[in-house]
């Protein structure tokens, strides 16, 4: 459609484990982007971080990817991509992951070129994140300046505002982000909740229920593999 930009949303993170909140980010983003009439979201990609990221308590990418794949089984547009966590031999900066996926799209298009009308535009990868990830841009020495610049100016960011954060103020106060504010979509999640992977891990370690917070298939996987300090309940043995 003329004037409508095709978008692929890429979410990077630990996904340790993936929660309903992570999946919800994609749905909220797609609805809001479509409502603008300017974008068509064609795909969502979840890219769990490499084990070398070294965050405390980070489970192996094997398990994190398996759970994310189970969680996306019922989606017809969100998928898990393991290039970052399994093909790479070390942690990759987020800009490298974005570049990889943009290249993939462009290579695929070249392969299909004869079947595609030349004026048809190629889909653009955008970083999908929560406000906490955007706000981590201000943590000293965490992100390289040139990476932040490339992420926001070349790819663009779709940020879902998490309760208690003030993403608009954060963009205003950052020279880099406000210069490129046309490349940043801030989307309000009105039906917000406080599900976080940290709280899920904590509940599991305490033997508390996480039903309705993460998909049932993942609860089953976690229990079956004894992850996060959970154990198989006696009656289910
Ligand atoms: N409740 C939430 N609202 C909005 N965005 C969220 C929320 N929870 C996570 N995200 C976003 O999901 C993406 C991946 O999250 P990630 O797994 O790294 O963090 P997390 O769920 O906060 O995990 P942890 O609790 O282990 O730090 C990030 O962009 C993060 O900002
Ligand atoms: O590219 C960077 O410099 C960079 C710096 C800090 C974090 N990231 C990415 O941001 C994500 C943060 O995940 P988490 O679980 O620490 O919130 C993860 O995918 C990291 O690879 C990326």
199 C-alpha to ligand 1 centroid (Å): 11
Model pLDDT, residue 110: 79
Evaluate whether residue 206 is within a structural domain: no
Model pLDDT, residue 237: 37
Which domain, by its residues, includes 16?
5-194
Evaluate whether residue 220 is within a structural domain: no
Model pLDDT, residue 2: 73
pLDDT in tens, the chain (237 residues): 778 999 999 999 999 999 999 999 999 999 999 999 999 999 999 999 999 998 999 999 999 999 999 999 999 999 999 999 999 999 999 999 999 999 999 888 777 766 655 556 789 999 999 999 999 999 999 999 999 999 999 999 999 996 666 899 999 999 999 999 999 999 999 888 889 999 999 999 999 999 999 999 999 999 999 999 986 554 443
Evaluate whether residue 208 is within a structural domain: no
Model pLDDT, residue 232: 55
Evaluate whether residue 205 is within a structural domain: no
In angstroms, the CA 57 to CA 198 distance is 10
CATH of the domain at 74: 3.40.50.620
Number of structural domains found in the chain? 1
Evaluate whether residue 236 is within a structural domain: no
- Kindly report the pTM of this predicted structure: 0.94
Neighbours of 35 (CB within 10 A): 10
Evaluate whether residue 89 is within a structural domain: yes
Evaluate whether residue 116 is within a structural domain: yes
Mutation pick for ligand 1 pocket among 12, 192, 197 (CB with most ligand atoms within 8 Å): 197
Evaluate whether residue 37 is within a structural domain: yes
Ligand nearest to the CA of 15: 1
């Amino acid at each position: 459609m003329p004037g409508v930009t095709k978008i692929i949303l890429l979410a990077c993170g630990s996904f340790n484990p993936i929660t309903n909140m992570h999946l919800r980010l994609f749905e909220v983003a797609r609805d809001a982007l479509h409502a603008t009439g300017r974008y068509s979201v064609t795909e969502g990609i979840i890219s769990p971080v490499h084990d070398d990221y070294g965050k405390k308590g980070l489970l192996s990418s094997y398990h994190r990817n398996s759970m994310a794949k189970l969680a996306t089984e019922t989606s017809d547009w969100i998928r898990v991509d393991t290039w970052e966590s399994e093909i790479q031999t070390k942690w990759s900066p987020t800009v490298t992951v974005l570049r990889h996926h943009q290249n993939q799209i462009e290579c695929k298009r070249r392969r299909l070129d004869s079947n595609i009308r030349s004026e048809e535009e190629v889909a653009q990868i955008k970083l999908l994140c929560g406000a906490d990830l955007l706000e981590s841009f201000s943590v000293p020495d965490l992100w390289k300046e040139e990476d932040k610049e490339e992420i926001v100016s070349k790819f663009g960011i779709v940020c879902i505002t998490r309760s208690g954060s003030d993403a608009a103020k954060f963009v205003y106060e950052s020279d880099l982000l406000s210069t490129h504010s046309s490349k940043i979509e801030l989307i309000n999640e009105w039906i917000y909740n406080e599900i976080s992977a940290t709280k899920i891990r904590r509940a599991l370690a305490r033997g508390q229920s996480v039903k309705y917070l993460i998909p049932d298939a993942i609860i089953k996987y976690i229990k079956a593999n004894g992850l996060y300090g959970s154990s198989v309940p006696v009656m289910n043995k």
